[in-house]
């Protein structure tokens, strides 16, 4: 009876461990992740006409970029080290310098800013970050005007 316990408690796990370890290496081989710095370089190159705040961290799973340069569209999610108010000021100052016109803004529990260009509309949504501190959780959605409907009406 004692030898059976020894086999079940010591020998069996010792033989099973290498088998499990070898399966892990051959059945699942994750791709190398793109670094945060590389992601930022790629995003900055693709969306050259709407700069992101310095030191922002892209949420890769929440981001899809279609096209590049002056005709890109899609959605970008990122965490900004600035507060929501500072992020609002960043976009109000930098977007017009890149040809975007402010057409609407709403400030409440979240901040929503809408910019336009002749061919596209950009919506910037700013929320208080998920953790304590000044951070903001930001999503930018850019669509061609044809998908957004008719020209927005200024109030």
Give yes or no: residues 62 and 86 share one domain. yes
Kindly state the average pLDDT of the residues 131-153. Answer: 75
Nearest alpha-carbon partner for 84 in 105, 100, 102, 64: 105
Give yes or no: residues 44 and 16 share one domain. no
Kindly state the average pLDDT of the residues 54-82. Answer: 87
Give yes or no: residues 24 and 42 share one domain. no
Give yes or no: residues 68 and 22 share one domain. no
Give yes or no: residues 46 and 64 share one domain. yes
Looking at per-residue pLDDT, the higher value among 155 and 81 belongs to 81
Distance in angstroms (rounded) separating the CA atoms of residues 11 and 99: 71
Q: Are 57 and 104 in contact (CB under 8 A)?
A: no
Tell me if 86 is assigned to some domain: yes
Tell me if 47 is assigned to some domain: yes
Q: Which domain holds residue 114?
A: 36-148
**5-42 pLDDT per residue, tens:** 654 455 555 554 554 455 554 444 456 666 767 777 77
Tell me if 153 is assigned to some domain: no
Q: What is the pLDDT of residue 67?
A: 83
**90-133 pLDDT per residue, tens:** 999 999 999 999 999 999 989 999 999 998 999 999 999 876 66
Give yes or no: residues 49 and 77 share one domain. yes
Q: What is the pLDDT of residue 154?
A: 47
Q: Quick check: 1 pLDDT over 80?
A: no
Q: What is the pLDDT of residue 60?
A: 86
Q: What is the pLDDT of residue 13?
A: 54
Angle in degrees, CA 67, 68, 72, rounded to 5: 65
Name the domain count of the chain. Answer: 2
Kindly state the average pLDDT of the residues 57-64. Answer: 88
Q: Quick check: 155 pLDDT over 50?
A: no
Domain of 106, CATH number, reads: 3.30.310
Distance in angstroms (rounded) separating the CA atoms of residues 46 and 71: 9
Give yes or no: residues 105 and 91 share one domain. yes
Give yes or no: residues 8 and 51 share one domain. no
Give yes or no: residues 88 and 15 share one domain. no
Give yes or no: residues 17 and 67 share one domain. no
């Amino acid at each position: 009876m004692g030898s059976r316990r020894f086999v079940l408690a010591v020998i069996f796990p010792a033989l099973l461990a290498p088998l499990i370890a070898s399966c892990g290496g051959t059945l699942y081989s994750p791709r190398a992740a793109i670094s945060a710095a590389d992601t930022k370089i790629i995003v900055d190159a693709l969306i050259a006409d709407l700069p992101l705040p310095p030191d922002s961290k892209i949420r890769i799973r929440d981001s899809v970029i279609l096209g590049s340069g002056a005709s890109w569209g899609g959605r970008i999610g990122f965490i900004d080290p600035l507060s929501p108010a500072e992020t609002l000021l960043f976009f109000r100052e930098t977007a017009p310098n890149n040809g975007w016109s402010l057409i609407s803004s709403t400030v409440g529990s979240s901040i929503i800013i809408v910019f336009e260009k002749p061919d596209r509309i950009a919506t910037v949504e700013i929320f208080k970050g998920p953790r304590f501190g000044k951070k903001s959780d930001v999503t930018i959605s850019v669509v061609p005007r044809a998908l957004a409907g008719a020209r927005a009406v200024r109030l």
